[in-house]
Amino acid sequence: MKQRTALIAGASGLVGGECLKRLLASDAYSMVTIVTRRSLGGAAEHPHARELIVDFEDLDSVRTELRADHVFCALGTTIRKAGSQARFRQVDFEYPRHLAELALANGAQHFSLVSALGASSKSGVFYSRVKGELEDVLRGMEWPSLCLLRPSVIAGDRKESRPIERLTERLLRFAPGTWRSVPAAQIAAAMVATARSAPQGVTIIESGAIAAAAGSALGAS
């Protein structure tokens, strides 16, 4: 199998961290570039990893270094943490959009995005509308291969305290498949498995289908 290169943004978060682990453990990637505002420490010392420390508002300053075959984007915040809708939109729309533009211009072939259940540019809910607008922009870029994952509440051990999300995760644990919380490791496995198969055009993986998309990738290198 031909080895490829990967680039990941959002590796300090729950899904991004799981995705980074899988990328570094995979024999499919010869190098993983971690785009981050602050050093991640341990993982960045892996022989197949390199950190690119930059403020996401200043991605143009490292545009020539944003090169990879496959790009994984797990950037995201909450409106509560962001402090305002404007700041939320900057993190969840502007940063991923700009990253995608620069990586595509540098020859990337696949882009994988952690979006959200209910994402739609026509939604009356601000959060869902921003996610949907980003999806629409990415489609408009005409990526050779684009994967949009739309998980419900993401389950896992977070470094930061998000009590509302933790409560929601517990309540949805036994909900119908569409709404059931999704383990971060499962989302990451689905991202990497889909990227490795690199389906042409746009692939949308709804929350209830993430487990199947992850498939046997869970536990594999």
Tens of pLDDT, residue by residue over 163-184, are 555 555 555 555 555 657 899 9
pLDDT of 11 reads 95
pLDDT of 219 reads 43
| More confident site: 209 or 179 | 209
pLDDT of 44 reads 72
Among 135, 100, 99, 97, which Cα is nearest to 115's? Answer: 135
Kindly calculate the radius of gyration of the chain based on its CA atoms and give it in whole angstroms. 16
Among 80, 79, 72, 75, which Cα is nearest to 111's? Answer: 72
pLDDT of 179 reads 58
pLDDT band at 220 (very low <50, low <70, confident <90, very high): very low
pLDDT of 221 reads 38
Among 142, 146, 88, 143, which Cα is nearest to 114's? Answer: 146
CATH topology of domain 4-217: Rossmann fold (3.40.50)
- In this prediction, residues 88-111 reach a mean pLDDT of 98
pLDDT of 160 reads 56
pLDDT at 203 over 80: yes
pLDDT at 191 over 90: yes
Among 59, 48, 44, which Cα is nearest to 25's? Answer: 48
pLDDT of 2 reads 74
pLDDT of 110 reads 98
pLDDT band at 10 (very low <50, low <70, confident <90, very high): very high
- In this prediction, residues 115-121 reach a mean pLDDT of 97
pLDDT of 43 reads 75
Count the neighbouring beta carbons within 10 Å of the beta carbon of residue 72: 28
